[in-house]
Amino acid sequence: MTDARVPTRRRVVGGLGVGAALLASGRVLPARAAPKPVTIGFIYVGPRDDYGYNQAHAEGAAAIKSMPGITILEEERVAETDDVVKTMQSMIKLDDATLLFPTSFGYFDPYMLRVAAQETGVQLRHCGGLWDKTKHPMNAGSYFGYIGMGQYLNGIVAAHASKSKKLGFVAAKPIPQVLINVNSFAMGARSVDPSITTTVVFTGDWSMPVKEAEATNALIDGGADVITCHVDGPKVVVQTAEGRGAYTCGYHANQSALAPKGYLTGAEWNWAEVYKMYATKMQAGEKLPNFTRGGLADGFIKMSPYGPAVSEAARKRADAVKAEIMKGGFAVFKGPLLDNTGKQVIAGGAAYPETAIEIESMNWLVEGVKGSLA
């Protein structure tokens, strides 16, 4: 009983900065027997139920909530500023959290690094690809999934559905994680039909509902008939596209309920596996890995079930490629590969599978993508 009350109460009073009473109750709790009690904090940049990035993490957090001995703390809408330092410190100092997941990209540097250096007894793991053994503290680390593979499959399905041979991508910021997705989507489509182009529109930030709607409309006005996105909450993009009669491929979570007609498939996170792994290791007192990666085969990501508009041919082809990916070593990016300015970015003979560290510093858009980084 008391166990379940802590996160709720904390959530309600969290904004007021009242934590002293909770500290007391948190210290009385861990009388339970077997598994070692561990308090884990999750920090989200947006609302937990945004049909997107934050919802995917919150579902992962919910999946470990019921594990015995695990207490979950969650705080939403924490800005990528000094605010996140305050949140992390209050979780550590007031709630005795020993493992923190600041999930948003911008939390890492300098905020999480600063806290990691100060609080050496606490483990921090950041979602993204930024942790570097040579530069960063050993109680910090990062985890990520190869969701680009999901976007590659999205691209294959999108190519089959498109009649105009124009696809649209609503993207937030031109950072490597986003560019991997844009390029993977475009290459998936081009693997079906090399004449297909993908137009990318950058909105400039993770959650800009009006710009996302404008971008979706503009892409459809420009002739695109399948839209996908990489923004925090794909709800606006998916609903706008459905309203305009265009197809959509989802991202982060399953958005099929928002577009019963036009939703083709989607690349979803499956963080439950990752968080379970961390929680189990933490309880057993084992050392946590600093650098965790996984893809479709590891269950880190999954695909949404196909929508009604997906043809038999598309299903077959996507399933076949998915089976290839599951075997491991499948390389989307292999040379010779040109970017969209005609420059060779991968030399002939080189092949980068999902695990290749090279693609995590991607700073180009592949041939067939209309767009630029700045």
Partner 1 sequence: MNSVETVLVAMLAGALRVSTPFLFVSLGECLTERAGRINLGNEGVLVLGAMVAYATSYLTGNPWLGVLAAAGAGAALGGLHGLVCALTRVNDVAMGIAILLAGNGIAFFFGKPFVQPSAPGLPGIPFGGWSSVPQVQSALTVSPLFLVGVATAFGMAWMFRAARLGLRLRIVGDSADAARALGLNINRTRLLATMAGSGLAGVGGAFLSLVYPGSWNESLSSGQGLMAVALVVFARWNPVGCLGASMLFGAAGALGPSLQAVGVTSYYYLFYAAPFVLTLAVLVATVRPGRAVRGMPGELSIAR
Q: Rule CB under 8 A: choose which of 202, 271, 306, 333 binds partner 1.
A: 202
Number of residues near partner 1 (by CB under 8 A): 43
Q: Are strands 344-346 and 337-338 parallel, antiparallel or unpaired?
A: antiparallel
Q: Rule CB under 8 A: choose which of 37, 209, 289, 353 binds partner 1.
A: 209
Neighbours of 142 (CB within 10 A): 21
Say if CB 88 and CB 41 are below 8 A apart.
yes
Q: Rule CB under 8 A: choose which of 43, 200, 249, 310 binds partner 1.
A: 200
Q: Rule CB under 8 A: choose which of 203, 248, 254, 292 binds partner 1.
A: 203
Q: Rule CB under 8 A: choose which of 126, 190, 235, 317 binds partner 1.
A: 235
Q: Rule CB under 8 A: choose which of 125, 126, 211, 252 binds partner 1.
A: 211
Cα-only R_g, the chain: 21
Q: Rule CB under 8 A: choose which of 17, 68, 204, 329 binds partner 1.
A: 204
Q: 3-state DSSP call for residue 30?
A: coil
Residue number with CB closer to partner 1 (224 or 226) = 224
Q: Which segments within 166-310 are labelled E, that is strand?
A: 166-171, 197-202, 226-230, 247-252, 263-269, 291-294, 301-303
Residue 156 CA to residue 188 CA, distance in Å, equals: 5
Query: Binding to partner 1 by residue 266, rule CB under 8 A?
Result: no
Min CB(167)–partner 1 separation in Å? 12
Residue number with CB closer to partner 1 (77 or 93) = 77
**Contact range with partner 1 by CB under 8 A, out of 108-116, 200-208, 278-286, 312-320:** 200-208
Q: Rule CB under 8 A: choose which of 26, 41, 46, 148 binds partner 1.
A: 46
**Contact range with partner 1 by CB under 8 A, out of 25-33, 95-103, 207-215, 307-315:** 207-215
Burial 296-310 (b: 16+ CB within 10 A, else e): bbbebbbbbebbebb
Query: Binding to partner 1 by residue 367, rule CB under 8 A?
Result: no
Query: Binding to partner 1 by residue 28, rule CB under 8 A?
Result: no
Say if CB 99 and CB 117 are below 8 A apart.
no
DSSP string, 98-157: -EEEE-SGGGIIIIIHHHHHH-TTSEE-EESS---TTTS-TT--EEEE-THHHHHHHHHH
Site string for partner 1, 155-194 (x = CB under 8 A): -------------x--------------------------
DSSP string, 246-273: -EEEEEES--GGG-TTTEEEEEEE-HHH
In this structure, which long-range contacts are made by residues 78-85, counting pairs with CB atoms below 8 Å and at least 24 apart in sequence?
A: 78/43, 78/44, 78/45, 78/104, 78/107, 79/45, 80/45, 80/104, 80/105, 80/106, 80/107, 80/111, 81/111, 82/111, 84/43, 84/111, 84/112, 85/111, 85/114, 85/115
Residue number with CB closer to partner 1 (141 or 168) = 168
Residue number with CB closer to partner 1 (159 or 167) = 167
Looking only at residues 215 through 234 of this chain, which bind partner 1 when binding is defined by CB under 8 A?
A: 215, 217-222, 224, 233
Looking only at residues 97 through 156 of this chain, which bind partner 1 when binding is defined by CB under 8 A?
A: none
Query: Binding to partner 1 by residue 329, rule CB under 8 A?
Result: no
The number of residues in the chain equals: 374
Min CB(243)–partner 1 separation in Å? 8
Query: Binding to partner 1 by residue 244, rule CB under 8 A?
Result: yes
Please state the φ and ψ torsions of residue 345, each to the nearest 5 degrees: -105, -25
Say if CB 172 and CB 232 are below 8 A apart.
yes
Residue number with CB closer to partner 1 (143 or 247) = 247
Residue number with CB closer to partner 1 (26 or 60) = 60
Instruction: Give residues in contact with partner 1 (CB under 8 A).
Output: 46-47, 49-51, 55, 77, 168, 199-204, 207-215, 217-222, 224, 233, 235-236, 239-240, 243-244, 257-258, 370-372, 374
